[in-house]
A = this chain, B = another copy of it.
């Protein structure tokens, strides 16, 4: 491609609304153009990067999966069958929906579990036809609350999604590992720094899931890991050993006046204990949606939740969401800090709430649960002789114990693991933290979807069996930008050879100089003939501007054709290392071919 004939406009200034280095460089270098909030045009250079990434992904997946293409518009009925319509339209509300001229609704696909299972249940009758693995690369849509960071969080993006179907959990686990291995090869080939981490399964569901994180300061996810490499998890899910509380200063249950100490810190200071000796009790409001059995409409129920945990610990919202969802019928559509005015029969002793706050404080009203859902984090459940609220303003109790003084609520892992806590597998390994961009996620869904959608095959024993299912995603456009985030420098993009839109850029210092242009045209032809994708910068600009653009575009090799040509020489510069060498014109193709091996 000759730059003089290409749709390339580079900019010196960063766009005002670009929040990350990668977004700045992709925009300045003419790879991207914003069309609207979270909506981008991929310009020719970006299109080439994405095509290369797609090809690399296909190379790793084709041996274990078959490529298909599923419709982006998905009938509402399929999402009703799986039970996810409510969760995706009411709760996070991240799904765009489309109404057709017959007033029927459709999902504008954020993911394709339902459609993939619908295809497979229609085609596969027998265990003999299993396993089946299919994948596709295409557009996905999310009605993001806050689209931002260029291609990292958009409303429309390119994704590779794969679905596998199995006769039994062993076969599913085998494919899960095969897909994890393929993802490992893909990320390794890209040469970026990344981690595979334990993850929460979110709305996709299932028991086991792993995320693949490209490490970058702008990453929206926190990864907690240990130095020995044995443990890495998304902070949403990470576990650790709670730092033990020291010996309790309290003995014997008593009520103590603690005026003006609505915070844990203030109460502990007054009581003369560590925050780890306190059980704090936090109220949440959980909203559940349950469809009517006739499929027409449904009802909302508000369930107040009382969470007990150690005073020095924080609630992990993802863990709490999962714990609450699995303990109540219907779809948990909202979970937020409580607004007691929505449900309290009288004023609550806020700041002094105890684990035994009675259900009688709940008003009797339609759509409101008559009881608290009471949960206690494991670390709080292990405390003895602790302090906690007395359910009266200005009073705490001390020296309390579960079972003797308070009924122990249902236990669950509800707390946030933090940097410095000891790993569960080895107390000598402290958790460390890094920021990551989630670029891949693999799920063992088990029979969740098949059960909801009544999808069966005939087993070896002649009986109907539920499909075991796996789901595997890579955010293709996000991954491309994640690599750009990690590898860009102050001069611009800096692509690995396997993603670079072109391998070489030929910079002609003076296009009026016939010798330079002639040599450039000849070398351009030779490089393409050798299969090396090459840009020819034949624009009427001064050399400095062209050098800056070559760096900005992030092309791995720059060949400068200038005065040295009079003695048959050109400059060969590597973008990554910055090294520059003088090379004979006739040796350029061989040098680059060799370096590309």
Please indicate the chain B residues that have their CB under 8 angstroms from the CB of A6 in the complex: 66
Cβ B100 vs Cβ A143 within 8 A:
yes
- In the bound assembly, the distance between CA atoms of A469 and B42 in angstroms comes to 20
- Interface centre among A36, A46, A96, A101, by most chain B C-beta atoms within 10 angstroms, is A36
| A278-291 vs B, Cβ < 8 Å mask (1 yes, 0 no) | 00000000000000
Q: Which stretch (A118-126, A238-246, A429-437, A521-529) binds chain B?
A: A118-126
Please indicate the chain B residues that have their CB under 8 angstroms from the CB of A123 in the complex: 7, 9, 30, 33, 43
Asked if A530 is at the interface of the complex by the 8 Å CB criterion, the answer is: no
- In the bound assembly, the distance between CA atoms of A178 and B123 in angstroms comes to 44
Asked if A59 is at the interface of the complex by the 8 Å CB criterion, the answer is: no
Asked if A69 is at the interface of the complex by the 8 Å CB criterion, the answer is: yes
Cβ A67 vs Cβ B39 within 8 A:
no
- A72-123 contacts to B, CB under 8 A, are 72-75, 78, 93, 96-98, 100-101, 106, 108, 115, 118-120, 122-123
Asked if A547 is at the interface of the complex by the 8 Å CB criterion, the answer is: no
Q: Which stretch (A131-139, A404-412, A417-425, A585-593) binds chain B?
A: A131-139
Please indicate the chain B residues that have their CB under 8 angstroms from the CB of A141 in the complex: 73
Asked if A266 is at the interface of the complex by the 8 Å CB criterion, the answer is: no
Please indicate the chain B residues that have their CB under 8 angstroms from the CB of A93 in the complex: 101
Cβ B71 vs Cβ A156 within 8 A:
yes
A139 contacts which of B46, B101, B139 (Cβ < 8 Å)? B139
Residue of B nearest to A8 (CB): B123
Cβ B69 vs Cβ A155 within 8 A:
no
Nearest Cβ on chain B to A153's Cβ, whole angstroms: 14
Asked if A44 is at the interface of the complex by the 8 Å CB criterion, the answer is: yes
Taking A41-B71, A72-B72, A73-B155 as given, write out 13 further A-B residue pairs in contact, using a Cβ cutoff of 8 Å, ordered by the A residue number: A7-B66, A7-B123, A7-B134, A9-B124, A33-B123, A35-B75, A35-B115, A36-B71, A39-B71, A40-B71, A42-B68, A44-B68, A44-B134
Please indicate the chain B residues that have their CB under 8 angstroms from the CB of A36 in the complex: 71, 73-75, 106
Instruction: List 19 A-B residue pairs with CB atoms under 8 Å apart, sorted by A's residue number.
Output: A9-B123, A33-B119, A35-B78, A35-B118, A36-B71, A39-B71, A39-B74, A41-B69, A41-B71, A42-B69, A44-B67, A44-B68, A44-B134, A47-B68, A72-B72, A73-B96, A73-B141, A93-B101, A97-B98
Asked if A70 is at the interface of the complex by the 8 Å CB criterion, the answer is: yes
- In the bound assembly, the distance between CA atoms of A115 and B30 in angstroms comes to 16
- In the bound assembly, the distance between CA atoms of A534 and B101 in angstroms comes to 44
Those 8 A-B pairs whose CB atoms lie nearest each other, nearest first: A42-B69, A44-B66, A39-B71, A36-B75, A9-B123, A41-B70, A41-B119, A96-B98
